[in-house]
Amino acid sequence: MLSLEEKLHDAAELMQQAQRIVVLTGAGISTESGIPDFRSPGSPWEKNPPTSYRDFLEKPEARQCYWQTRSNLSTQVRMAQPNAAHRALVELERKGKLSGIITQNFDGLHQDAGNNPEHIVELHGTSRFAGCTLCGKRSSMDVLQQRIDAGEVDPRCDECGGLLKPATILFGQRVPDAELARAKQLTEACDLFLVVGSSLKVIPAATLPRLALNRNVPLILINLQPTTLDAAADVVISEKAGVVLPAIVEQM
Ligand code: NAD
């Protein structure tokens, strides 16, 4: 078995040789910024299972529950600052090695860290905006949150009367075709695929590293818990992203 130092060295060497690295990030990259992920032991989901998109659209009581349980998470996301792992990806971009970040996160921390927004694909949307479920119009999330906090139970779009919610993707909601197409395009063109902080249990994001593997592209996984792709990866590092990612980028 390789030591941590050897794994860091191998990862740095592979990344040094690559020219078009694509990074898939999940909730695990932001836990060190104070935003809990959903699948680690003790996560908020153990108490409150997620609201599905269908329930949100069809059941007023599901919407009420959604807004109640979301308020904690939205405060954590509002207060969060990028951590050392986010900053390491900015450094990777500065080195000219990064062709894109595909993120499952809606927290906007890659943009806050300083990565070029044009290189970021937000597969699961963003909690920085509100969106109408009927006409798709985007509006201010702060204003929507103020309406909720003021006691409004079922806020509606002022254009079309559709239901409002954060512009994120709920369970059972389709990932926008354009975002998925961009993510696939980046993956098809990359020469190294790096996963940081994702359980790889959410489809379609979890299919992307397989696409890369099908082209014999090196795969590096940084995740605290094991994933189904560990056996197929070139390097697996089960340590905190905020510790190992800066160490790898520094060694490159
Ligand atoms: P997940 O919760 O399924 O998995 C996160 C993984 O990260 C876990 O396997 C865990 O072991 C690992 N992890 C936790 N802390 C880590 C650290 N410091 N370093 C390395 N690994 C760490 O997350 P997911 O696969 O992204 O899927 C959950 C869904 O929930 C996502 O689709 C996302 O949309 C949403 N989500 C987003 C946020 C956010 O925006 N920050 C937070 C929670 C959930």
Beta-bridged to residue 193, according to DSSP, are: 22, 219
pLDDT tier for residue 191 given thresholds of 50, 70 and 90: very high
Average pLDDT value for residue range 193-217: 97
SS3 of 164-202: EEEEECCECCCCCHHHHHHHHHHHHHCCEEEEECCCCCC
Distance of alpha carbon 79 from alpha carbon 10, whole angstroms: 35
Among 84-93, 141-150, 175-184, whose mean pLDDT is lowest?
141-150
Distance of alpha carbon 180 from alpha carbon 38, whole angstroms: 22
Catalytic positions, please?
A: 124
pLDDT tier for residue 52 given thresholds of 50, 70 and 90: very high
Q: pLDDT digits over 32-43, tens only?
A: 999 999 887 777
Average pLDDT value for residue range 139-162: 92
- Which mutation among 7, 25, 37 tests ligand 1's pocket best, with the greatest number of atoms within 8 A of CB? 37
Which residue, by CA, sits nearest to atom 8 of ligand 1? Answer: 199
- Phi, psi values for residue 115, rounded to 5°: -70, 150
The pLDDT score that the predictor gives to residue 49 is 82
Which residue, by CA, sits nearest to atom 14 of ligand 1? Answer: 28
- Pair 128, 108: CB distance under 8 Å: yes
Q: Which of 217, 225, 224, 6 is CA-nearest to residue 99?
A: 217
Distance 36 CA to ligand 1 centre (A): 8
Distance 105 CA to ligand 1 centre (A): 8
Which residue, by CA, sits nearest to atom 32 of ligand 1? Answer: 104
Average pLDDT value for residue range 22-30: 97
Render 93-154 in DSSP notation, one character per residue.
HHTT-EEEEEE---S-HHHHHT--GGGEEETTEEEEEEEETTT--EEEHHHHHHHHHTT-SS
Which residue, by CA, sits nearest to atom 40 of ligand 1? Answer: 105
Atom of ligand 1 nearest to the CA of 241: 19
To the nearest 10 degrees (0 to 180), the angle between helices 84-94 and 241-251 is 20
The DSSP output letter for 247 is H
Q: Is the pTM of this model over 0.85?
A: yes
Q: pLDDT digits over 56-71, tens only?
A: 999 999 999 899 888 8
pLDDT for residue 133 is more than 90: yes
Distance 197 CA to ligand 1 centre (A): 6
Which residues does a 6 A CB cutoff place in the pocket of ligand 1? 26-28, 30-32, 35, 37-40, 104-107, 124, 197-199, 201-202, 222-225, 240-242
Atom of ligand 1 nearest to the CA of 32: 18
pLDDT tier for residue 46 given thresholds of 50, 70 and 90: confident
Averaged confidence pLDDT in the chain: 95
Atom of ligand 1 nearest to the CA of 169: 34
Which residue, by CA, sits nearest to atom 26 of ligand 1? Answer: 26
Average pLDDT value for residue range 3-30: 98
Q: For the chain, give the percent of residues with pLDDT over 70.
A: 100
